[in-house]
Structure 1
Amino acid sequence: MEAKEEIIDKAPQVLCKNCQTSFDGKFCPECGQSVFEYERPFRFLIADFTGNLFAFDTRFWTSLKALTLQPGKQTRNFIQGKRARYMPPFRFFIFVSFLFFLIFSSYLGKTVVVSDENKKEVYQALKQQLDSVQGSKLVSSIKDSVMLSAPKIAVPLPDSSETIGSPKVLDFSFNNDNNDSPFQLDVSEEEVSAEDSNKIEKLKAAVITVMENPKIYMNSFIKFLSWSMFLLMPVYAFILWLFFRKTAPYYYSHLIMAVNQHSFWFLMGTIIFMFQYFLPERDYEIEMWLLFLLPIHTFLGYKQLYKRSWLRTLSKSIGIVFLYSLSMILAVAVIFNFWVQSEFL
C-alpha cells in the first residue's frame, strides 16, 4: 500500500510595517501593531467600522445591565480577568458622566431665571469679592452702595478702613441708558496700579456678564465641578482601601470599584434630571425612589465585592460615606474658590 504524504500548509509570514518583524498572526509580537490594512476598498472599511460599532453596543448594554442589576459583580469579574464582555470601566464612566453633565447643564439652562432676588444674591456675592479686594489694598474707600436702577436694589458695602496715600474711589453704578447693555458699570480710579486696574476691569465685565447671561458662568462652574468629581474618584478609592485593605490589598481593585460606582451614581443622576427636564409636571415622584436606591446599591456593591458580613459591611459603609462626604465638601469648596478667583479676579 503506497504511503501518502501529508502536506501541511504553513501560514504565510507577515512582515510588520512598523518594526519589520516577521511573524504569524494578526498582531506583531514586538510592537503590538495590527496587520489590518487601511489601503483597501471603502466597502471593507465600512464593514469593519460597523462590526466595531455593534461590538461597542453589545459591551455597553452588557456593562449597563451588570452595573444596575448586579452591583459589585461586574467589578469582581473585571478584577478576575473576565473583561472581554464588558466595556472598559473608565470609558464607560466618561460616556455616562458626559451624558450626565449634558443633561444637567440643559436642565439648569431651562430652569435658571435671573429674578430680582437672584440679582440681589449676585450683588451680595459681589460685595464679598469687593471686601477681598479691599484686603489686598486695592482701594481705600468704596462707595456706600451698589445701585441697580431697574429694579431698584441697593446692597450696602462697608467703608474701607485703610487709607493709602491719596484717596482712591471706585464708583459702581448701573445705568439703563446704555444701548449696548442694560447694565453699565462705571469705575473712576486714581493712583491704582496696572495689575489692580486689570482686576477691576475683570470684575466689571464679570458682573455685567452675570446679569445679562448667567448661563455663561453656570456652564463654567459645571466644567469645574465635573473635573472635581473626576479627581475625587481616586480619593474615594483610597477610602475604600482604608476600610477593605485586608480583603483586597491592592489599590487597583478599589479604583475599579470607585469608577463603577461613580458611573452608577451619574447614571441615576442622568435619569433624575431627564425626568425633571422632559416631564416637569407629573403625578408621581420617581426621583425620590431613585435617590433611595443609591445607598442600597452602594451597600450591596460592597457586600458582593468584599464578601464581609452584613453588619461589618454596614458599619464600614457608614464610615466610608462620612469620610467621602467630608472630602466632597472640601473639594467643592476649593473648586468654587478657584473658580471665583479665575472668573472674577
Structure 2
Amino acid sequence: MSKGKLREDKTCLNCGTIVEARFCPECGQENTETRKSFHYLFTHVVEDLVHYDSGFWKTIKYLLFHPARLTREYLSGRRKSFVVPIKLYIFISFVTFFISGLLIPVNKMNIGDEKAPVVIKEAPKKEGLNIKYTNNDAPIVIKETPGNEGLNINFTNDSLPKQKNIVKVDEYGWMAGFKSVRELDSVQKSLPEKDRLSKLHYWFTKRMVSIAEHNTMREAFKKGVELFIRNLPKVLFLYMPLFAFWLWLLHGKKRWYYFDHGIFTLHYFSFLLLLTSIFMLLEWLLSMSDWLIFGIIQGLLMTVYMFWPIIYFYKAHKRLYGESKIISFIKSSCLFMTNSITLLIILILYSLYTFISIH
C-alpha cells in the first residue's frame, strides 16, 4: 500500500472522475499529492524494486545460478513474479557503476601520480628534433630510439640515472614534436604541396597537438580514462541490440522473434554486471588484509570471474534454444567469437573517440 499523502481535492487528475477512496474507480490512478521529495522518490523506487512481493530476490537467484531459466519463465508468460528485464538491467547497471566509482576512483589511480613513470616505447623519428623537458618529478623511459638523427635531449633531473634512454616528459606540447597548433600550421604552410599532410591526417594531427597544447601527458590520459568510464554504460547499452541481432541471425525466424533474443540479451548483460558488482565488492573486502589465504581466494575469484561468464553463456544458450549439444556448442562458439571481436573493435574505436574528445 502506498504511503503517499492523499489530495484534498477528490477529482482525479488523470480522468476527472470523483475519487472517494485512494484509487480512482475509473482509471485506477492513485489520488495522492503530485509533488514528491527526492527522498520519497528514491525510497519508493527501491522499495518497489526489492520488496518481497516484486520477486526481486527470486529474479536475482535465477539470474545468477540458473542460466536462461529467467528468460524462459518470462517468455512463457510467467512475468508477474519477476522484475521487468529493462528495469532489472538499469538498476543493476546503476549499482555496478556506482560501486566502481566508489571503490575505484580515477583520481586515485597511478595515472594521477606525478611521480609515477610514463613509458613510451619509441621516440618520434624526426631529424634535428630538440626535446627539452622541465618536469623534475615525472621520469619517462624510452625503450627504443632508432632513426633519430640529431636528437638533442636535455636532462634536468639530477636524481635520475645518467642513461641515454631515460628522459623526462610530462609537459605541454608533447605530441608529434609540435608545441602548438599554430606551429603545426606554420610548418604545413612552409612545406611544398606534395609534402603536406592529407586532410584526414592533418585533422587528426591537429586534434592531437591541440590536446597536447592544453594538457600534459598525464592530464590527457587521466581525462581520457574518466571519459571512458563515464560513458561506458551508454556504449554497452547501445551494443546490446547488436548482440541480439547476432542471435537473431543464427536462429529460426519463425520460432524466435527478435524480441525473444532481446530479452535473453538483457538478462545476460544484467548477469555480467551483477557478477562484476559482486566481484568488485569481494575484491575490496579481501584487499583489506595482506594474509596469504586472502590472496589465494582473490586468485580463485579472478578465475571464476574470467571463466564463469563463458560457461554461463554456453549453458544459457543450450537451455533456452533447446538445440542438440553439438549444434548449440557450434552456434555458441560462433556467437561468442563474433561478439568478442565486434565488442573489441567497438571499444577500440570508442577509446579513440574518447581521446580525441578531450579538451
Match of 2:88 among 81, 89, 92: 92
Residue identity matched to 1:264 = F
- Pairs within 5 Å for 1:43-122: 53-57=46-50, 58=52, 59=54, 60-109=56-105, 112-114=109-111, 119-121=117-119
Distance (Å, rounded) in 1 between the aligned partners of 2:231 and 2:154: 31
Q: CA deviation at 1:236?
A: 0.7
Distance (Å, rounded) in 2 between the aligned partners of 1:231 and 1:300: 25
Equivalences, count = 296
Distance (Å, rounded) in 2 between the aligned partners of 1:141 and 1:330: 37
Match of 1:206 among 205, 215, 218: 215
Match of 1:332 among 344, 347, 350: 347
Distance (Å, rounded) in 1 between the aligned partners of 2:14 and 2:252: 43
Preserved contact between residue 233 and residue 258 of structure 1 (Cα < 8 Å): yes
Distance (Å, rounded) in 2 between the aligned partners of 1:173 and 1:77: 69
Evaluate the alpha carbon distance shift between residue 86 and residue 173 of structure 1 in structure 2; reply closer, same or farther with a 3 A threshold.
farther
Residue identity matched to 2:346 = A
- Pairs within 5 Å for 1:1-345: 16-20=12-16, 34-39=28-33, 53-57=46-50, 58=52, 59=54, 60-109=56-105, 112-114=109-111, 119-121=117-119, 143-144=130-131, 148-153=135-140, 155=142, 184-185=171-172, 187=179, 200=209, 202-207=211-216, 210=219, 216-246=223-253, 248-280=255-287, 281=290, 282=294, 283-284=296-297, 285-343=300-358
**1:163-212 alpha-carbon deviations (Å, 9 max, x no partner):** xxxxxxxxx99999xxxxx965374786666999997554233326628x
The more displaced of 104-113 and 83-92 is 104-113
Structure 2 residue matching 1:100: 3-state secondary structure: helix
Structure 2 residue matching 1:343: 3-state secondary structure: coil
Preserved contact between residue 71 and residue 264 of structure 2 (Cα < 8 Å): yes
Matched residue, 2:163: none
Distance (Å, rounded) in 1 between the aligned partners of 2:172 and 2:83: 52
Q: CA deviation at 1:20?
A: 4.2
Q: CA deviation at 1:333?
A: 1.0
Q: CA deviation at 1:142?
A: 6.0
Evaluate the alpha carbon distance shift between residue 24 and residue 328 of structure 1 in structure 2; reply closer, same or farther with a 3 A threshold.
farther
Q: TM-score, normalised by structure 1?
A: 0.68
The more displaced of 315-324 and 84-93 is 84-93
Q: Percent identity?
A: 21
Structure 2 residue matching 1:35: 3-state secondary structure: coil
**1:233-284 alpha-carbon deviations (Å, 9 max, x no partner):** 1111111111223474310110010010011111112222222222124132
Superposition RMSD in Å: 4.5
Preserved contact between residue 185 and residue 204 of structure 1 (Cα < 8 Å): yes
**1:112-146 alpha-carbon deviations (Å, 9 max, x no partner):** 3247896423x669x78xx9xx9xxxxx9964466
Preserved contact between residue 93 and residue 262 of structure 1 (Cα < 8 Å): yes
Gaps of 5+ in 2: 1-9, 158-168, 174-178, 187-202
Gaps of 5+ in 1: 1-13, 135-139, 161-171, 177-181
Residue identity matched to 1:99 = V
Evaluate the alpha carbon distance shift between residue 308 and residue 147 of structure 1 in structure 2; reply closer, same or farther with a 3 A threshold.
farther
Evaluate the alpha carbon distance shift between residue 116 and residue 49 of structure 1 in structure 2; reply closer, same or farther with a 3 A threshold.
closer
Distance (Å, rounded) in 1 between the aligned partners of 2:253 and 2:217: 56
Distance (Å, rounded) in 1 between the aligned partners of 2:13 and 2:265: 40
Q: CA deviation at 1:106?
A: 4.2
**1:78-104 alpha-carbon deviations (Å, 9 max, x no partner):** 222222211111121122122222333
Q: TM-score, normalised by structure 2?
A: 0.65
Residue identity matched to 1:239 = W
| Greater C-alpha radius of gyration | 1
Preserved contact between residue 174 and residue 184 of structure 1 (Cα < 8 Å): no
Preserved contact between residue 89 and residue 256 of structure 1 (Cα < 8 Å): yes
